[in-house]
Amino acid sequence: MERRIDISVPENKGKERLDTFLTREVGQVSRTQIQKLIQNGYVTIDGKTVKSRHIVQPSEKIQVHIPKPPPSDILPEKIPMDVVYEDDYLLVVNKPAGMVVHPAYGHSTGTLVNALLAHTSCLSTVNDITRPGIVHRLDKETSGLLVVAKDDNSHRLLATQFEKKSVLRQYVAVVWGIFKKKNGTVETMLARSIKDRRKMQVAKQGKGAVTHFEVKEKLPLTSLIYLKLETGRTHQIRVHLAHIGHPVFGDQTYGGRGRQLGGLNQKDTALAMELLKIMPRQALHAKTLGFIHPQTHEEIFFDSNLPEDLENLIQKLRKDKR
């Protein structure tokens, strides 16, 4: 369980940055750790997320959530990996649905990092010890392509491309409902949910997030769409699609399963139930990945086939077109 700390700013408090104030008040937590907690939405003031540079004010109510630390000893595990590409500087892996990218509370084994440690002794150390080589992530139940850095210089150069939004990331998804227009962009602020810290939500304050979508095919009850990310926020695609009324099919967290059955007629309900059995997770796959190689400086692109469950779902929907 995570630890929660409630702090009331004293009435006579002078001007001070939030991160500096909390470093002293919380204790046994470094300023860098405090800044990461603030950045990731684990710190709220009067129920709202803020930035590290926020100047604390008298009588403000600060709530700090400190997640339980993951295990420090990560063991190599010989887990099969679909390595799409590998050289002396990086790997590109096609992650299966159901695999967590790196160890965290509740997932100390069976992660992609465990598999990577068994595959190679060369992984970047830019991140903390639980995330060697990990430049970016995919949700546990999202399948698809990930780039992994083998050395620190390659990691930094790849991370810079993600920060500058120059990495090509194209996803395929089956979502609920039929779109009124073929193309569109969803641009909002995203923040961690106050009610459930494991979820994200569209908010007035938070981190900017931009998702572009293109409808490829209208299917029974659903649409097949392609998506391109400008930003890579936690749960970004899933939250954005739910926000515009088209949650990812099968997404339990953001309204893509049972919640969509209400209002369907008997025939459509039966079809939806059958489809949900085919797809027990969110129907989302990171299909295409492109970036500048950190050593050769050449543009490289990778494309992956749809996983079997998503392919089966699409074929079933096509057969039931009417």
Mapping DSSP onto H, E and C, the string for the chain reads: CCEEEEEECCCCCCCCEHHHHHHHHHCCCCHHHHHHHHHCCCEEECCEECCCCCECCCCCEEEEEECCCCCCCCCCCCCCCCEEEECCCEEEEEECCCCCCCCECCECCCCHHHHHHHHCCCCCCCCCCCCCCECCCCCCCCEEEEEEECCHHHHHHHHHHHHCCCCEEEEEEEEECCCCCCEEEEEEEEEECCCCCCCEEEECCCEEEEEEEEEEEEECCEEEEEEEECCCCCCHHHHHHHHCCCCECCCCCCCCCHHHHCCCCHHHHHHHHHHHHHCCCCCEEEEEEEEECCCCCCEEEEECCCCHHHHHHHHHHHHCCC
Regarding whether 107 and 34 lie in a shared domain, the answer is no
pLDDT of the residue at 236: 97
Catalytic, out of 139, 151, 251, 309:
139
Q: What is the rounded distance in angstroms from the CA atom of residue 230 to the CA atom of residue 98?
A: 25
Q: Is residue 151 part of a domain?
A: yes
pLDDT of the residue at 260: 85
Q: Is residue 305 part of a domain?
A: no
The answer to whether 272 and 264 are in contact (CB under 8 A) is yes
Give the model confidence (pLDDT) of 207-244 as tens digits: 999 999 999 999 999 999 999 999 989 999 999 999 99
Select from 120, 146, 164 the last residue of a domain: 164
Highest-confidence range of 24-38, 44-58, 294-308, by mean pLDDT? 294-308
pLDDT of the residue at 12: 87
Regarding whether 106 and 212 lie in a shared domain, the answer is no
Which one has a higher pLDDT value, 68 or 97?
97
Q: Is residue 296 part of a domain?
A: no
Regarding whether 238 and 130 lie in a shared domain, the answer is no
Contact partners, residue 24, CB within 8 Å, separation at least 6:
none
| Number of folded domains that form the chain | 3
Question: pLDDT confidence of 106, banded at 50, 70, 90?
Answer: low
Q: Is residue 80 part of a domain?
A: yes
Contact partners, residue 181, CB within 8 Å, separation at least 6:
215
Q: What is the rounded distance in angstroms from the CA atom of residue 7 to the CA atom of residue 18?
A: 12
Tokens 């069976």 belong to: 110
Q: Is residue 294 part of a domain?
A: no
Q: Is residue 60 part of a domain?
A: yes
User: Phi then psi for 93, rounded to 5 degrees?
Assistant: -120, 140
Q: Is residue 304 part of a domain?
A: no
Residue 88 annotated in active site: no
Average pLDDT over residues 158-162: 95
Regarding whether 315 and 176 lie in a shared domain, the answer is yes
User: Residue 7 is part of a domain; what is its CATH number?
Assistant: 3.10.290.10
CA nearest to 228, candidates 188, 174, 178, 286: 286
Check whether 28 has a pLDDT greater than 90. Answer: no
The answer to whether 93 and 148 are in contact (CB under 8 A) is yes
Task: Return the structure tokens found at 254.
Answer: 């953001």
Range in 104-113, 150-159, 234-243 with the lowest mean pLDDT: 104-113
Regarding whether 187 and 278 lie in a shared domain, the answer is yes
Select from 47, 66, 85 the last residue of a domain: 66
pLDDT of the residue at 198: 82
Select from 129, 164, 199 the last residue of a domain: 164
Regarding whether 126 and 61 lie in a shared domain, the answer is no
Regarding whether 194 and 89 lie in a shared domain, the answer is no
Question: pLDDT confidence of 138, banded at 50, 70, 90?
Answer: very high
Give the model confidence (pLDDT) of 274-308 as tens digits: 999 999 999 999 999 999 999 999 999 999 999 99
Check whether 135 has a pLDDT greater than 80. Answer: yes
- What rounded mean pLDDT belongs to the chain? 92
Whether the pTM exceeds 0.85: the reply is: no
pLDDT of the residue at 72: 56
Q: What does DSSP say about strands 284-292 and 143-149: parallel, antiparallel, or unpaired?
A: parallel
Regarding whether 235 and 315 lie in a shared domain, the answer is yes
Regarding whether 215 and 181 lie in a shared domain, the answer is yes
Q: Is residue 83 part of a domain?
A: yes
The answer to whether 74 and 114 are in contact (CB under 8 A) is yes
**Residue 44 domain boundaries:** 3-66
Give the model confidence (pLDDT) of 73-105 as tens digits: 789 999 999 999 999 999 999 999 999 998 876
User: Residue 273 is part of a domain; what is its CATH number?
Assistant: 3.30.2350.10
Question: pLDDT confidence of 14, banded at 50, 70, 90?
Answer: confident
pLDDT of the residue at 141: 96
Highest-confidence range of 21-25, 99-103, 201-205, 218-222, by mean pLDDT? 218-222
Regarding whether 211 and 105 lie in a shared domain, the answer is no
Contact partners, residue 265, CB within 8 Å, separation at least 6:
none
Percent of the chain predicted with pLDDT > 70: 96
Regarding whether 209 and 315 lie in a shared domain, the answer is yes
Which one has a higher pLDDT value, 130 or 98?
98
Q: What is the rounded distance in angstroms from the CA atom of residue 268 to the CA atom of residue 214?
A: 25
Regarding whether 133 and 241 lie in a shared domain, the answer is no
